[in-house]
Chain A
Amino acid sequence: MNSWYFSHLTLIQGMLISVPLALSVQIALRSGVFSFASIGFYGVGAYGTGILTMRGWPVLPAMLLMIVVSGLVAYLMSAPLIRLRGLYLGMVTFAFDLILTVVATNGGELTGGALGLLGVPLGIGTGGLLAAALVAILAVSQLERRAVGRALVGIKASEELVMSVGVDLKSRKRTVFAISAALGALSGSLYVLTFSTVQPTSAGFTLIITTLTMAVIGGTSSWIGAVIGTVIITWLPTLAATIGEYQHLVYGVVLVLVVMYAPEGVLGALRWLWRRLAPRLRPARPPALVPSGGPPPDRGAAARAEPVPADRVKG
């Protein structure tokens, strides 16, 4: 066990570092905010914390500063961004990530150019990574409960519904955007403090694909999905040694297949299984009484036309 732990330490650390990042994408997707901006803030966190600790800052203040600054910057940035719908927001935040890699490459001595930062003092142990991952999980899981959870799920069902029950939709979306960025920055900080180096490409296209795969493959409906996805994507390459080379191709294909055939991800599949099995484990109960209602009367196209942009509950 002990020797297994040490020979797999890098993977274990990588997995713990990825948890906040996968959560950052999951929480955005779950709230109907299709954003990759947290990957960019992963870079901000990694570079920022690296630069500060190399200049003698203590680890914790450096990390906290980068997390808070990322959250605030994201909150300010989000004002124009959240007006963008779906794919457009995705594309803009994607561009934001790529621009940041260019900035990092051309940042001169501060960012170390194409080579990036080298020799950042190691500042965190596996215990610290675990604690950080747990804090992230705790924070995100609280976003799924009670009033906050209902409102965020509601956003995805129908934005009009959520507004009509008194939720300040814009401010909710902006807050989610900020939380997502802060989680990204946390993950980046953990990375640089663990591996003592970061390159411009660290927060580039590859990371976007990997993280998106983690969030989507597990299922975006809950933090559990993000954790499942992180575990799978971390350990998959070691299980199938041959895919190493084609890793990202495989991720791409898996991503497409999941989105097409199992949009609820692994978590959704598990839930589905549970629903099938649970009745057999529970004592049988009578079928629910459904008062008769029948189908809605067909009133033609006019019946379906409601004078507001359609974002109806999907079946």
Chain B
Amino acid sequence: MSAVTGVPSLEVRDAAVNLGGVKALDGVSLTVQEGRLYGLAGPNGSGKSTLLAAISRLLDLTSGSILVGGADVMRRSPFEVARMGLARTFQTVRLMPQFSVLENAMLGADQPVYGSSFVRQWLMPWWTRSREASVRARAEAALERLHLMDLRDEPPLSLSYGVQRKVEIARALAAEPRLLLLDEPTAGMNRAERDEIGELLLRLRNEGVTQVLVEHDLKMMVDICDHLYVLDSGHLIASARPAECIREPKVVEAYLGRGRRAAA
């Protein structure tokens, strides 16, 4: 994933996914350059989450291929692409209810800091002590960026949905990813919170984190994204700079034509 070599951070080639007879993705090809913030738009059920699941290897493609940092990942497991520097958030928040906000964020930093040796993590508490401290530091830094430090000891399910989403983002940031996939990170948030997240993503972009953002808030996408991809019924129907993209007739039709959701 180096800008010097010009290898894109992510490449999707002719991806297709069939889910129970539905073509959730069909012939999708797209490229994500390093250090940019990409938007992935499209009406409900157009395949956005399916694409993110395929990229993070939680879902197998029916055909096509995906390259992360130039390497074909079709034979790799989700944990292996995570170890390549990919982190993601989920559309339905995935938080551990028995753990505090801080511990949930720490989960994101565990693997990068501790590494993968189970026995060392298990039976060498003296070895893990210093790692635990740096995991905590990373998680706290991530919570800080989302202004969640006051809530770090709360159980996540006691928090509002919007705040839970922020914890989800903090967990992903704690991994200090190079490539970040965000599936509707601001759903359930109010305007001010959305703006705050938008600013955060822009700052991450300027720090060099490559991002793919799925959002229904088109205004936010236009404001912050470098480039927009639009899916409809599993097809990629547009790829352009955001301001131009949302004016393309196909895109307008996808959003308004079937009266699903007004382009904000």
Q: Report which A residues bind B (CB closer than 8 A).
A: 139, 142-143, 145-148, 150-151, 153-154, 157-158, 160-161, 163-172, 175, 221, 288-297, 299-300, 302-308, 312-315
Contacts and interface: CB of A to CB of B under 8 A. Distances in A.
A303 B261 CA distance: 13
Contacts of A157: 94-97
Interface string B122-139: 110100100110010000
Given A142-B125, A160-B94, 17 more contacts: A146-B132, A147-B128, A148-B121, A154-B96, A157-B97, A158-B94, A164-B58, A164-B90, A165-B107, A165-B175, A166-B82, A168-B79, A289-B151, A294-B188, A302-B45, A307-B19, A308-B58
Contacts of A294: 160-162, 188, 190
B189 A293 contact: yes
B150 A168 contact: no
Interface stretch (B1-9, B26-34, B98-106, B240-248): B98-106
A228 B79 CA distance: 36
B29 to A, nearest CB: 19
Contacts, number: 164
A308 B183 CA distance: 13
A307 B122 contact: no
Interface in B102-158: 103, 106-108, 110-114, 116, 118, 121-123, 125, 128, 131-132, 135, 147, 150-151, 154, 157-158
* Chain A interface main SS type: loop
A150 B110 contact: yes
B17 interface: yes
Contacts of B233: none
Interface stretch (B48-56, B63-71, B204-212, B220-228): B48-56
B59 interface: yes
B87 interface: yes
B78 A164 contact: yes
A312 B118 contact: no
B219 to A, nearest CB: 15
Contacts of B13: none
Contacts of A291: 147, 160, 162-163, 193
B145 to A, nearest CB: 15
Contacts of A151: 107, 110
B175 A175 contact: no
B73 interface: no
Given A150-B96, A166-B112, A295-B188, A161 B193 contact: no
B190 A293 contact: yes
A161 B97 CA distance: 13
Contact of B88 (A148, A164, A306): A164
Interface residues of B, number: 67
A150 B174 CA distance: 14
B96 A153 contact: yes
B77 interface: yes
Interface string B4-22: 0000000000000101000
A172 B111 CA distance: 13
B131 to A, nearest CB: 7
B79 A166 contact: yes
A306 B49 contact: yes
Nearest to A163: B78
Contact of B90 (A143, A297, A299, A306): A306
Contacts of A290: 151, 159-160, 163
Contact of A171 (B90, B118, B187): B118
A163 B82 contact: yes
A6 B150 CA distance: 55
30 contacts: A146-B132, A147-B114, A147-B135, A148-B121, A150-B99, A150-B103, A150-B110, A153-B99, A157-B97, A161-B96, A161-B107, A164-B78, A164-B87, A165-B82, A165-B108, A165-B171, A167-B79, A168-B79, A169-B79, A288-B154, A290-B163, A291-B147, A291-B193, A293-B161, A302-B44, A304-B92, A307-B47, A307-B49, A313-B95, A315-B97
Contact of B93 (A146, A148, A153, A313): A313
Contacts of A295: 161, 188
